[in-house]
Amino acid sequence: MILPSCFNKKTKAANSAKVARLSGNETVKRYILLILGLFFAGVGVAFTKKGELGVSPVSSAANVMSCKYDFLSLGGWLIIWNCILIVGQIIILRKNFKLIQLLQIPLSFLFGYFTDFGAWCISSIDANTYPIRLAFVIAGVIILGFGISLSVIANEIMNSGEAFVKAVSDSVNKDFGNVKILFDLCSVALAAVLSLILFDFKLVGIREGTVISAFCTGFVVKLFNKYLTVPLNSLLCGKH
């Protein structure tokens, strides 16, 4: 049986509309997952901050500034730092910077707010002994790694730190991982310089927690990715 051409066209149009609808639903799910990832990442940073043993390398400069100038919270300084990194991407990429990446700006504000919310949630807990402080750092690294994993699986907008690293690696045609290591080192170096200048040649806000975060967060992310990527992608794509 040969179907009329008009019927075939209507069928193709209906199928295209269905695909577009499903694609739109998947995009919404991915952005929800991204925001959840930002939430857990922000809470993770708050936990490491509570330990007072240093935070992750990319957050170190903001942490030092929050220690010196407390008229802004750590979340507030993180918003400023992330916006600086976004401006850096624009300068590096110029015409190659995609406007969709400007969504990093509201996401940076969300990350800052989530960090402050996490700090508020645990503000009543005493961390007056070293084991408790270390426990906060370890918990923070796990929560941060979980949040980053969700953001990676969402695969929509990169956070400003990772996006800055990608902009640099693309511009100089170097491996992303190697540039990321250099970026982390530079972030810690910047934080150290700020600390020495602002605190009379004393290191403040950079301690063993920064080292633990630098070495362990990537491992935690890989671990969560290993077990969450397939089930979450199935959920996002509507597969059962």
Condensed to tens digits (0 to 9), the pLDDT of residues 89-127 reads 999 999 999 999 999 999 999 999 999 999 999 999 999
Whether residue 224 is predicted with pLDDT greater than 90 in this model: the reply is: yes
**CA atoms of 160 and 107, how far apart (whole Å):** 9
Nearest to 202 by CA among 212, 191, 217: 191
Biggest CA–CA distance in the chain, Å, is 87
Domain ranges of the chain: 21-236
Rounded CA separation 9/189 (Å): 62
pLDDT of residue 240: 54
- pTM score, two decimals? 0.86
pLDDT attached to residue 176: 86
Q: Give the model confidence (pLDDT) of 29-65 as tens digits.
A: 999 999 999 999 999 999 999 999 999 999 999 999 9
What confidence score (pLDDT) does residue 13 get?
A: 45
Find out whether 45 and 144 touch, Cβ atoms under 8 Å: yes
pLDDT of residue 21: 47
**pLDDT tens track for 162-191:** 999 999 999 999 888 889 989 999 999 999
Residue 179, CA distances (Å) to 10, 145, 166, 168 in order:
51, 20, 8, 7
